[in-house]
Amino acid sequence: MATMTSPARARGNADQHPGTVARRRQRVGWLFVSPFLLIFLIFLVIPLGYAFYMSLFTSTLAAGTTFTGLDNYVTAFTDPIFLDGMRRVALFALVMIPLQIGIALVAALFLDTLATKLSKASRLLIFAPYAIPVVIGALMWGFLYSPRFGPASTLFEVFGLDAPEFLSSSMIFGSLVNIVTWQWSGYYMIVIYAALRSINSSIYEAARVDGATGLQIALRIKVPMISSSMVMVLIFAIIGTLQFFTEPVVLRNITPGAIDAAYTPNMYAYALAFQYSQFNYASTIAFSLGILVFMGSYVFLYFTRKQSGLDR
């Protein structure tokens, strides 16, 4: 006897079809992601689009606001003030990034060898500077650098010497490098340390059986195995350094002319917008910096694609 399938049961069987289940899961996934996408759209995509739109115009008292296309970008990439700030930031990157990554890598390798409670306390102490807000950290170092109120003057007086002018034009570069290195090395250390902890410890045991020393294990096994994490850390460092802003802005008010309003490209854009009301050209400078950051990151990823796994 033939059996009849009710419409309700047929619909139930259709609902169990793999394609239907996959589409339902996609809808649920988009539902969970939609709050982030909405915030991302409102607070990032739309402001960026409006800023780019502003960069295509020029405002003057005589002619008002006129559409000039990419003329502002031609001006930006021939602007000696902007280019000088970019050269200064590039020099910061050449000095700060190897110093930060080197300190973070050494600290992570050292902590990876510890198996005591001292390891947890050390990780916390090294990471603590990153937990301090950047503005507060810069103000604290400004006090420490002060030739009148800082502890350096007292310390050097003990030896009958004058304290160095850490905030002078000749030493402000090194002072800023020290602040940023102190602030960010702990964060990079945590990323590298997490990558090290994901390596199977049996690999180290096999290397020791073969006669490898601790230094050989660190340099020939650990570092190559975390190359993708190292590339990620380097990208973070490159982007952060090229966007250098907060520390020089905070120290500018307490330095004797060592930091001007155009010390970095971000500071230049800020000064154009909020001191000279040149919002169109300020948007152009900001986007020009973004273009250079993107190009620098892309070139770095291209030459390190094997280590970062992008060539798979």
> Which H or E run contains 96?
helix 80-112
Task: Name 289's Cβ contacts closer than 8 Å, sequence gap at least 6.
Answer: 86, 242, 243, 265, 266, 269
Handedness of CA 261, 266, 269, 274 (dihedral sign): negative
Answer whether residue 15 shows pLDDT above 70.
no
Tokens of 249: 């802005």
Name beta bridge partners: 66.
Answer: 58
Handedness of CA 175, 185, 135, 266 (dihedral sign): positive
Q: At what angle do helices 279-303 and 265-274 cross, to 10 degrees?
A: 160
pLDDT at 1: 42
Closest among 281, 290, 255, 309 to 59, alpha carbons compared: 281
| pLDDT tens-place string over residues 250-279 | 998 888 788 988 999 999 999 999 988 899
Chain centroid to Cα 93, Å, comes to 12
| pLDDT tens-place string over residues 182-219 | 999 999 999 999 999 888 888 888 888 888 888 888 88
pLDDT at 201: 83
Handedness of CA 209, 214, 218, 222 (dihedral sign): positive
pLDDT at 32: 86
Work out the angle at residue 231's Cα, subtended by the Cα atoms of residues 92 and 132, and round it to the nearest 5 degrees: 55
Mean pLDDT of all residues in 243-248: 90
* φ/ψ of residue 16, rounded to 5: -85, 0
When the pLDDT of each residue in the chain is averaged and rounded to a whole number, the result is: 84
DSSP for residue 219: I
Contact present, 304 and 229 (Cβ < 8 Å): no
Contact present, 168 and 258 (Cβ < 8 Å): yes
Domains of the chain: 14-67 (no CATH), 75-308 (1.10.3720.10)
DSSP secondary structure, 97-110, as one string: HHHHHHHHHHHHHH
Mean pLDDT of all residues in 136-143: 90
What's the pLDDT band for 74 if we cut at 50, 70, 90? very high
| pLDDT tens-place string over residues 146-183 | 877 778 777 877 777 777 888 888 889 999 999 999 99
Expressed in percent and rounded to 5, the helix, strand and coil fractions of the chain are 75, 5, 25
**Percentage of the residues of the chain whose pLDDT score is greater than 70:** 90
> Which H or E run contains 66?
strand 64-67
| pLDDT tens-place string over residues 84-116 | 999 999 999 999 999 999 999 999 998 888 766
Give 147: exposed, middle or buried? Use CB within 10 Å, 0-12, 13-18, 19+.
middle
pLDDT at 88: 93
The model's pTM is 0.82
